[in-house]
Structure 1
Amino acid sequence: MRAFAGLAACCATSLAAAQCPRTGDTVFDSGFEQPPVHAYHVAPGGDDGHDGSAASPWASIQHAVDAVAAGDAICVHAGVYNELVTITRSGSGAAGPIVLQAVPGDAVVIDGTALPIPGGQHGLVTLVDASHVIVRGLELRDYSTASVANVPIGLYVTGAGSDIRVEGNHIHGIRTTASGCAANAFGLKVDGTRAPASIKRLVIAGNEIDHLVLGCSESFSLDGNVEQWTISGNHVHHTNNIGIGAIGFEGVAPDPAFDQARDGVIVGNVVHDVSSYGNPAYGNEYAADGIYVDGGTRITVERNLVHHVDLGIELASEHAGRTTSHVVARSNIIHSGNSSGISLGGYAAGVGGTEHCSVVGNTLLRNDVQGTGSGELQIQYHASDNLVVDNVVYAGPGGVLVHAYTGDTAMPAVLDHNLYWSDAGAAGSTWTWRGSDYDSLAGWRAGSSQDAHSPFADPLFLDLVGPDLRTAPGSPAIDAGVEPDGGLAGSFDYGGDPRVAGGAIDIGAYER
């Protein structure tokens, strides 16, 4: 995608400014190369009969997106806009993207109060079959329904298209007050609904998504024929269902061969205060993941912070005969969850599972605070040929470290070079393997044939209260890991430092 370095700067901060500042005056740098062909303006008190200049702005955002062409930017000035915005036009690689963004420093609100939900499912901002589009710096709020027939969405990308960026937006107050699992709402949703044409080269970065009432849906999800994407630096919090989801096999794409989110990266996000407990679609169940790969493939989940959710990271599939596969979860920090820290395998015998996934170099601390028994690492149904290495697994008072409670596969995972510790102490810690329980590391090794090189020792975190989960000098985690083949450990640790320093890789999310 070709565009201009001064993307944000094209939007003059004053209505009196009639042209774009020089390209170097940037607020967001997205690697763009030239200023927009035209910069049009929208402001309260404007008129759609005007020419859209800074001196004579338009009144509605929808009028602007219907008027612009490839390479143009729409500069929206401070105000509350009670309208739905649907983008069906595309930019181009040659002329540049179509840009919809708030003027830097201006509070631009698209408010959904009392607005309809066309077609039964719609966003406050919706992109349909659009390519080379950027949406940036908007606040999208208060779009709701009380009907199971309607699905409100904060920002919705659907159809097919490429080279889309969604950056620095704040989405909140999207709600369904309908009951049961037919009730749905989403903060941000991407649906690849065509095949073989996909939604691809998609970047969703630096957005805040919070205070949502979702029913059976996700705060933020990619579903269907979506490929070559990056979800980075987003902050998802205070919602009553899944934080970030990458989904497959839901029938979103018309051809099952393409119906799977794939070839993506979920990196550097913060997800917290996410729980389905009390959500009418679930009742009193701790079922909401911070990050959920449900039927996705070839995805990397790395350097995310997930805390005070139900399940931290789950790699599974809800569809019988289908799996999440070839996913790498590495260098993540997961703590203080209501249920398990990391979960592999389907939640029941009648659903799908997890295969060829790798859990490498993560730090899990005091999850399962509700005492569900799922522990720090949970392995459920139809899990096979997975890898779990170099993780710090630190259980709380319940002492459940690994809970692999099903025996339906011969080799759910290979585990080694993990560092185990527990507030319950050696005598109060437990491991479960294919349905058999063990109450000592020696018993666990003998019964499971796993973790031959894994110690039970205090990792010596710098601060358990903060927490600061870097390790102190002398930690048994230092240089105690093993680098798996194929670059599975990645290049960087949780803090962005080189993944290997010293004689060998460290166990856990940080490299000392």
Structure 2
Amino acid sequence: MRLSILIAIVLCLISAGIYSIAANNKKEVEAVTVPKQLFVATDGDDGNEGTKEKPLRTIQAAVDLASAGTTVYIRKGTYSDGFDVTNSGTKEAPLVIRNYENEDVVISGKEQTMDEDAALVNVDSKRYITIQGLTLQDLTTDSPDYAVMGISVSGNSSYINIIQNHIHQIRNTADEGNAHGIAVYGTGKMEQIRVMDNMVEELTLGASEAVVLNGNIDGFAVTGNTVRHNNNIGIDLIGYEGVAEDSEADYVRNGTVQGNVVHDNSSYGNPAYGEDYSAGGIYVDGAKNIKIKGNTVFRNDLGIEATSEHKGQYAENILITENKVYENNYTGISIGGYDEERGGTKNSSITYNVLYQNDTKDLYGGQLLLQHDIRDNDISHNVFTSSKTGLFISNYFLTNYNTTMNRNVYDKDTENSWVWKQQEYNDFGSYQQATGQEEDSAYLEVHYMDASSKDFTLKVGTTAQAVID
């Protein structure tokens, strides 16, 4: 009996010891996996530990120390040093570089000199990185040989988040210069790029774009951004420019451009373009399988454009839907190449958009511009209100194949016209009969909720609403 009790006591002690060891090991594991934090402040020192109480001085010093699972917090102030991301995160432990608790963090390039392309933030062939809450500004060159950028992502970088940054005053003042606010160049294969809720404005771009994704990029989202007051294209998705190492995959694909506000982007007066109104608010140039949805696009040169600038290539499977496109200088929505040496647009849809009083410069681009080499596209369930030119559709090319148009509403005015395959029609019936299109479309007075405040919702119960629905 005593022996049994003794054995039981010993077993209990052993079990307690094992539990204690396991518990201690668990605590050690938890301590190891707690996300690491590094702090940077203008009054810090790069010899410090990088804690909140003893911050580092330069962002680059913190980024060099940061590994997977680290968040680099930057305290308020202006920093003259940009940074290169030196390590990757992982899916379970991403690497985050951001402002601390919504403090105002400015990275200025005002003091930088350069003898090559330069970016205030550079991410090259890294994975699972987030750049968030930074203001990037004042990077300028007058050299046609160098490009300047707010944020540059290149190589085979993947799972990159660019969130809630403010990028402005990035300038290349050379006549043939190049600059970008956010530039993502897939020289290797990239996946899952997210550009969300950024403000990109007041850039001097030369021949380049405010926000660009170019090359071998498979999977992306450009959402909730404001892109405005730039002297060239707002948002650009590009293929076939020779960027990617794999020429067969040298195009952006499988993504969404949604909920952006894109306005007042114009190439007029840009030395690279002279007096041409050629800057698209949102431009698909040779990209494929893209949804452009729910954007507000106004006072650009072209509102939304989808084509390819390379002969024999196409913007393909592009869905342009539920966008408000108004008061753009040349046209509202454009598909097809601007001349016969360009590519075109195929297997795409333009649906449920409002195109309101575009062509404000009387350039006869109308509300919808159909250009060279368009094939098997559907244009339906849209509402068109003309500008003072009265022109709804501008199609001065014969290379218009299997385009279907139906259930559109044209806002009736005293003088309106449609141009289809180089023929102009001044009344809706003649246009319908000659083209064999628009059987269920309507030409009537449209009643918006409040067009003066840009509320283009159709009033309930109107004929226009019935046609669209």
Tell me, yes or no, whether TM beats 0.5.
Answer: yes
CA–CA separation in structure 2 for the residues paired with 1:346 and 1:390 = 24
**In the alignment, is residue 191 of structure 1 matched against residue 185 of structure 2?**
yes
The one of 408, 413, 416 equivalent to 2:406 is: 416
- 1:458 to partner: Cα distance: 1.9
Match of 2:165 in 1: 169
Normalised TM-score (structure 2): 0.92
CA contact (8 A) 2:262 2:296 kept: yes
Match of 2:119 in 1: 123
- 1:459 to partner: Cα distance: 2.0
CA contact (8 A) 1:332 1:363 kept: yes
CA–CA separation in structure 2 for the residues paired with 1:249 and 1:207 = 27
CA–CA separation in structure 2 for the residues paired with 1:319 and 1:116 = 35
Residue 443 of structure 1 aligns to a residue in which SS? helix
Give 1:27-106 correspondences, 5 Å limit. 37-94=35-92, 96-106=93-103
- State the aligned residue count: 438
**In the alignment, is residue 475 of structure 1 matched against residue 465 of structure 2?**
no
CA contact (8 A) 1:36 1:73 kept: no
- 1:122 to partner: Cα distance: 2.5
CA–CA separation in structure 1 for the residues paired with 2:447 and 2:254 = 36
Give 1:382-421 correspondences, 5 Å limit. 382-411=373-402, 413-421=403-411
Normalised TM-score (structure 1): 0.84
CA–CA separation in structure 2 for the residues paired with 1:153 and 1:162 = 19
CA–CA separation in structure 1 for the residues paired with 2:416 and 2:33 = 61
Question: Structure 2 counterpart of 1:416, which letter?
Answer: N
- Deviating runs (4+, > 3 A) in structure 1? none
- 1:310 to partner: Cα distance: 0.7
CA contact (8 A) 2:174 2:206 kept: yes
- 1:402 to partner: Cα distance: 0.5
CA–CA separation in structure 2 for the residues paired with 1:36 and 1:386 = 53
- 1:117 to partner: Cα distance: 3.9
Residue 442 of structure 1 aligns to a residue in which SS? helix
- 1:457 to partner: Cα distance: 1.2
Question: Structure 2 counterpart of 1:415, which letter?
Answer: M
Question: Structure 1 counterpart of 2:196, which letter?
Answer: A
Which has the higher mean CA deviation after the structures are superposed, 260-269 or 449-458? 449-458
Please, which runs of 5 or more residues in structure 2 have no aligned partner?
1-31
Deviations along 1:102-126, one digit per CA (max 9) or x if unpaired, are 01231100001131346x3231001
Residue 213 of structure 2 aligns to a residue in which SS? strand
Question: Structure 2 counterpart of 1:407, which letter?
Answer: L
CA–CA separation in structure 1 for the residues paired with 2:404 and 2:334 = 15
The alignment's C-alpha RMSD in Å is 1.3
In terms of fraction of residues, the more strand-rich structure is 2
In terms of fraction of residues, the more helix-rich structure is 2
Question: Structure 1 counterpart of 2:467, which letter?
Answer: A
**In the alignment, is residue 365 of structure 1 matched against residue 352 of structure 2?**
no
CA–CA separation in structure 2 for the residues paired with 1:230 and 1:430 = 37
CA–CA separation in structure 2 for the residues paired with 1:432 and 1:253 = 39
The one of 149, 155, 175 equivalent to 1:153 is: 149
Question: Structure 1 counterpart of 2:105, which letter?
Answer: V
Match of 2:440 in 1: 453
CA contact (8 A) 1:235 1:269 kept: yes
CA–CA separation in structure 2 for the residues paired with 1:243 and 1:117 = 26
CA–CA separation in structure 2 for the residues paired with 1:115 and 1:209 = 21
Question: Structure 2 counterpart of 1:375, which letter?
Answer: G
Question: Structure 2 counterpart of 1:51, which letter?
Answer: E
Question: Structure 2 counterpart of 1:62, which letter?
Answer: Q
Question: Structure 1 counterpart of 2:446, which letter?
Answer: P
CA–CA separation in structure 2 for the residues paired with 1:410 and 1:221 = 30
- 1:85 to partner: Cα distance: 0.7
The one of 334, 343, 348 equivalent to 2:334 is: 343
Match of 1:134 in 2: 130
CA contact (8 A) 2:308 2:344 kept: yes
Which has the higher mean CA deviation after the structures are superposed, 454-463 or 239-248? 454-463
> Greater Rg, structure 1 or structure 2?
2
Match of 1:499 in 2: none
Deviations along 1:382-428, one digit per CA (max 9) or x if unpaired, are 111111000001111111101111002443x2111000015x42xx1
CA–CA separation in structure 2 for the residues paired with 1:36 and 1:430 = 66
Match of 1:22 in 2: none
CA–CA separation in structure 2 for the residues paired with 1:97 and 1:473 = 48
